[in-house]
Amino acid sequence: MQNKLLYIILVSLFLICLTGCQTDKDNEIKNSEVFIQPNDQMVRLNGKWDFYSNQLLLPDDIPKINHSAAQTMEVPGTWDIRNGYGTYHLIIHFPENRIGKPQALYLPKIYTANRLYIDEELVSEIGKIAMAEKGSVPFGKPSITYFNPSQKKVHVLLQVSNYYHRKTGITGSVYLGDPNNIEEKMKLKIFLEWFSIGALIAIGINQLNLYFNRRKDSVSLYFSLFCLLVGIRVLLVGDSYIFHIFPALRWDYAFKLNYIIVFLCIPLFIKYFSAIFPNEMRRTFLAISVVSSLICIPIVIFTTPIIFTNTVYILYLLLLLLIPYFLRVLIKAIIQKHEGAKVIGVFFAVLIATVINDILYNEQMIHTMLLMPIGLVAFCAAQSYLVYKKFSKAFEDVEILSSQLEITQKEIVFRLGEITETRSKETGNHVRRVAEYSQFLASKYGLQSDEIELVKLASPLHDIGKVAIPDSILNKPGKLTNEEFAIIKTHTEIGYQMLKHSNTKLMETAAIIAYTHHEKYDGTGYPRGLKKQEIPLYGRITTVSDVFDALSSKRTYKKSWEIKDIIEYFKCEKGKHFDPILVEIFLDNVNEFLRIKEKFKD
């Protein structure tokens, strides 16, 4: 299991490093122009683009405008104003070997509408561009546009408008290159996002199932809900796969759902942490954090995106307060050697690193990618490992307790049998010998191992009904009268009534043996006069064991028989008193019976 944990750690760190490392080339953009080199397979078009504020220029307008009037806008980057519109312009110079060859241009998610022209052709439109909020339709998702440059100099014109988000502009890297290279890069991104979605939802469902089977474990409940919500949120961010699943879903509704999930996850994570480390958490501080988070939800529901997106600063403040607090709790738990604290601590550090990355990425301070889903998968995998380790230990404890209980149960059965025999002034070894004889006969008869064990454990209770027989009759040294013998015979019915109400296999078998061990193969026995196969096999086996031990042992009313006389008796009673097959087994293995008798002699 430790190797599996190490594997999870290494895979998680590998994925985070893989996604966070930037290996793509940046081509220098000067005066809103970029020169593609013949060997460039994929480049980032990061740098200063021309930008025309409050203008929606068309390709025909480019030759007419005064380029010196253009602003320069950093890509990735945002405008100083939140509401408005404008046009980005970039000139791409292709080498000879790229003319007429397919190219791909990747645009990140741009808030909240954009229209792309390459040379004179409209090639892409996301949302609806407008000069006022009334005519605009917000939408945001990444896009890949394919084109074939017909000349060395290609104009890229990107119209952007925003009236709904606190950020306006191209907030991620723009990529240009061979379609295969662009698609491969996107495939990795798609794989990581769907891997995160699938892993988080699967872990969430699994943990929820654990909670439904063990409702006292609140850790599984809070953790499962947290995983499920984060898994759903990954559908809303990144490449916004939610719109592929629900094409008619409005962008602003999806955006609200994203923020609502974030502010629900904070209380759930706090409750989860509190459930794991209940003695280390301060309720007042946590209650304030939970309330602060939940207050943001009505703001998200009842205001427009351009307003409620500012609640992200409340989120940042909460994280700034909670992360050090959680670290303090973890350090304290590790010092106190709390079970699982080290594992949670390691993966919480990984999660914090990805959270910090995402905050810096969202604020345009670094240009990596969203890594928190991968960090969450690693953290959730670690928590799942701890949960299953806990359940595994619990099952081991149950197995140990069950084994101890079984041993105790067996001992009680033997003690009950011994107590019964003691009342009739016989030694407790009688029941042990009967058990050993019965086990041997059952084995030679060909029963399965579980049935053999069952006969051995149940047969000591064959005379349990004698506890209700008066001592004056039970221990009478002389011959019993007919009335006294009739009372003695009732011990089979009494024993059966004592044991039959149990629903355990052992007690059910003991009840059958107690009831039928005085039946005879020819039907002359008691209490019911059963014959041949009507008598349960367990009863027939115990009959042979009990009679052999009775004949070979000294009783208050008789001496022990010689072994030759016992053998002769069994031969005579074959098919009468005893099952013929069992008699043959006995006769073939008399020495084993004598060995058992000697081992457990009185």
If one counts every other C-beta atom within 10 angstroms of the C-beta of residue 153, the result is 11
CATH of 2-17+183-395, one of 3.30.310, 1.10.10, 1.20.120, 1.20.1070: 1.20.1070
Predicted pLDDT of residue 5: 45
What are 275-284's pLDDT values in tens digits? Answer: 888 887 788 8
pTM of the model: 0.64
DSSP state of 22: -
User: For residue 114, what are the β-bridge partners?
Assistant: 126, 160
For residue 547 the two structure tokens come to 């009679």
Q: What is the DSSP letter of 90?
A: E
Question: What is the phi-psi region of residue 492: left when phi exceeds 0, alpha when psi lies from -120 to 50, beta otherwise?
Answer: alpha
Find residue 153's DSSP bridge partners. Answer: 93
E strands present in 163-290? 169-170, 175-177
Q: pLDDT at position 13, please?
A: 52
Angle in degrees, 0-180, between the axes of helices 179-213 and 2-20, rounded to the nearest 10: 140
Strands 84-93 and 153-162: antiparallel
The per-residue pLDDT for 22 is 47
CATH dotted code for 424-599: 1.10.3210.10
How far apart, in whole angstroms, are the C-alpha atoms of residue 67 and residue 73?
14
**Sign of CA pseudo-dihedral 295, 298, 300, 302:** negative
Per the DSSP assignment, residues forming a β-bridge with 47 are 75
CB atoms within 10 A of CB 599: 11
- Is residue 129 helix, strand or coil? coil
Q: Is 501 helix (H, G, I), strand (E, B) or coil?
A: coil
- Comparing CA positions, the residue from 106, 257, 101, 115 lying closest to residue 188 is 106
Q: In what order do the strands lie in the sheet with 25-26?
A: 25-26, 42-44, 175-177, 103-107, 143-147
C-alpha 482/C-alpha 484 separation (Å) is: 5
Q: For the residues of 274-322, what is the DSSP string, one character each?
A: HHHSTTT--HHHHHHHHHHHHHHHHHHHHS-HHHHGGGHHHHHHHHHHH
Instruction: Identify which of 194, 156, 204 has the alpha carbon closest to the alpha carbon of residue 51.
Output: 156
Q: Structure tokens of 460?
A: 């000591």
Residue recorded with tokens 């019965």? 438
Domain residue extents for the chain: 2-17+183-395, 26-172, 424-599
Backbone dihedral angles phi then psi of residue 176, each to the nearest 5 degrees: -135, 140
pLDDT at 352: 87
Q: Which two tokens stand for residue 313?
A: 């600063």
| Ranges in the chain, pLDDT < 50 | 1-2, 4-6, 18-23
The CATH homologous superfamily for domain 26-172 is: Galactose-binding domain-like (2.60.120.260)
How many other C-beta atoms can be found within 10 angstroms of the C-beta atom of residue 188?
A: 14
Q: Which residue carries 């069950």 as its tokens? A: 402
- Residue 395 CB-density burial (10 A; 0-12 exposed, 13-18 middle, 19+ buried): exposed
Query: Tokens for 503?
Result: 């629903």
The pLDDT value given to residue 268: 92
